[in-house]
């Protein structure tokens, strides 16, 4: 009986190691931390239902396929050859991990000197960047994302993607490394803002974590310099 239990435990652990590919990081703040700009109920449903749903569906979609052994970046690099379920749910997982990290209840975070310089080069100033991001988010028909990303030429740019696509995907129209993403699916704002997506886009700048965006900028620039010496 005891031997049976040990075998059973081993089998269970094997299953966990072999099949639980992707997991959800804890939210770095409480559900109500971004009030009044993003309400607690939206955050709770968004994190606990939508994001966790993408992870569950992603793990189901990769099981028994070559993608089960890939990192999320490897999945994006070959996503045009993978199933729509893997594309949608890998994007859904990655995009939300990025989204939670670039939001914060901390007030007055600012772009680093390095990022500020890049913003001035590409957009003149931070306000023009916000206008451009808000336009990209408002113009996205249906569901999708607005992105601040680093192009393959190493410049900052703004784009939008449909559904759960992102600039890391091999099939993206605008390819690069995203450093700030704004979710414009209705589930991200509807409870508080209803049909007023532009109001949500205007409010979200109050809770952007510029420390994290600056860190992502610096990491991505170092990476792109490695590829383009």
The window from 28-36, 112-120, 132-140, 181-189 that contacts Mn ion (CB under 5 A) reads 181-189
- Which residue, 38 or 177, is less far from Mn ion as judged by CB? 38
Size of the site for Mn ion (CB under 5 A): 3
- The residue nearest Mn ion at its CB is 183
Nearest approach, Cβ of residue 188 and Mn ion (Å): 5
The window from 20-28, 34-42, 175-183, 214-222 that contacts Mn ion (CB under 5 A) reads 175-183
The window from 21-29, 143-151, 176-184, 207-215 that contacts Mn ion (CB under 5 A) reads 176-184
Site string for Mn ion, 200-229 (x = CB under 5 A): ------------------------------
Point out which residues pair with 156 in neighbouring strands: 150
- Which residue, 156 or 184, is less far from Mn ion as judged by CB? 184
The window from 23-31, 32-40, 103-111, 177-185 that contacts Mn ion (CB under 5 A) reads 177-185
Nearest approach, Cβ of residue 66 and Mn ion (Å): 27
- Which residue, 55 or 118, is less far from Mn ion as judged by CB? 55
Q: What angle do CA 71, 45, 139 make, to 5 degrees?
A: 75
Cα–Cα distance between 184 and 198 in angstroms, integer?
10
- Which residue, 189 or 217, is less far from Mn ion as judged by CB? 189
Identify the three-state secondary structure at position 66: helix
Nearest approach, Cβ of residue 46 and Mn ion (Å): 6
Tell me how far CA of residue 112 lies from CA of 16, 100, 188, 189, in angstroms.
Answer: 41, 20, 27, 29
Contact between 183 and Mn ion per CB under 5 A: yes
Tell me how far CA of residue 147 lies from CA of 10, 24, 37, 39, 58, in angstroms.
Answer: 44, 22, 19, 22, 22
Residue-wise burial string across 162-176, b where 16 or more C-beta atoms lie within 10 A, e elsewhere = ebbbbbbbeebebeb
Nearest to 153 by CA among 124, 180, 188, 118: 118
Nearest approach, Cβ of residue 92 and Mn ion (Å): 7
Point out which residues pair with 151 in neighbouring strands: 176
The answer to whether 173 and 65 are in contact (CB under 8 A) is no
Which positions touch Mn ion (CB under 5 A)?
A: 183, 185, 188
């Amino acid at each position: 009986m005891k031997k049976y239990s040990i075998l059973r435990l081993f089998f269970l652990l094997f299953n966990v190691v072999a099949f639980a590919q992707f997991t959800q990081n804890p939210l770095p703040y409480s559900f109500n931390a971004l009030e009044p700009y993003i309400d607690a109920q939206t955050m709770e449903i968004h994190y606990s239902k939508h994001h966790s749903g993408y992870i569950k569906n992603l793990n189901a979609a990769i099981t028994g396929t070559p993608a089960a052994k890939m990192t999320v970046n490897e999945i994006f690099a070959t996503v045009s050859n993978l199933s729509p379920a893997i594309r949608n749910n890998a994007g859904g997982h990655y995009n939300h991990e990025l989204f939670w990290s670039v939001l914060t209840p901390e007030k007055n975070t600012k772009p680093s000197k390095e990022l500020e310089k890049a913003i001035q080069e590409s957009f003149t100033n931070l306000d023009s960047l916000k206008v451009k991001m808000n336009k990209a988010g408002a113009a996205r028909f249906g569901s999708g994302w607005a992105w601040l990303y680093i192009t393959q030429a190493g410049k900052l740019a703004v784009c939008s993607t449909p559904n759960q696509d992102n600039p890391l995907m091999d099939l993206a129209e605008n390819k690069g490394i995203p450093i700030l993403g704004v979710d414009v699916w209705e589930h991200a704002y509807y409870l508080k803002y209803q049909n007023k997506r532009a109001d949500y886009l205007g409010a979200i700048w109050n809770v952007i974590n510029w420390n994290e965006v600056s860190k992502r900028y610096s990491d991505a620039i170092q990476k792109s310099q490695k590829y383009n010496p």
